[in-house]
A and B are shown apart, each in its own frame.
Chain A
């Protein structure tokens, strides 16, 4: 169990809890159950939790599968710095958010699930895990045409660019013979046409 990142599971659990809170809240509000205003709270809390938990954090080892379209929320969540990076804060936040929903039967399932997610986040925080945003890799753009060489003047097989350059540099320095002169083949080539 040494390398389990509990925060990843806590994240899935919290996201599910958010959805359950929203559903329970909608049922309570639409049905105008007794104390339905807790339902309205539950919808708001659920939406907040879903938005906070949607961007998946980066795994310490290996590649992380991003959720579709998460980069927009990642930039927002990143802004809060230590508040969103630290899992102790998340554990406490989720625990506090879950409490009011516990007063209504329709949303009590959301409370239980969010409280469990809070517990798993606490475990993750104790083990020193942190939320790191998944950054898109900067795309390396080599200049178009930068590696195209002039069409070669000598027939194949040709040595690589450096070997070709060096003689010309030496020649430029020594003002020697013509660059790229007749090819000196390493293995003697004989014409086999009879």
Chain B
């Protein structure tokens, strides 16, 4: 029965990779940093990311309401946001960030706003998916410890 849960968890993860939400290499790298003493490290990092980036999202939101737009500031915020997003392996989000930064460079305000709407959707969507994944992982986790020999 445990093997079935493991397979389900692995499938969930594979789906996140295949659909492009997560970068396989980076996310796997983070998981490799987990051990018995730190079994929920990835969840902790992701939680930290969502908490920390909420502030950035808000800053960008406010900056996009200004007229005229301060592209240098927007670029700066987005670089920060892109950095953290990369660190957790958020692939689609990273691409949205890159797009946004391109629009900043060309001074395309409409492009920035459009991309930002897309980005926010992706940000929320990923959060739900990851919450679901970690919730399931926590359930599977203890079973793994129980059946894995020392």
Task: Answer yes or no: do A and B interact.
Answer: no
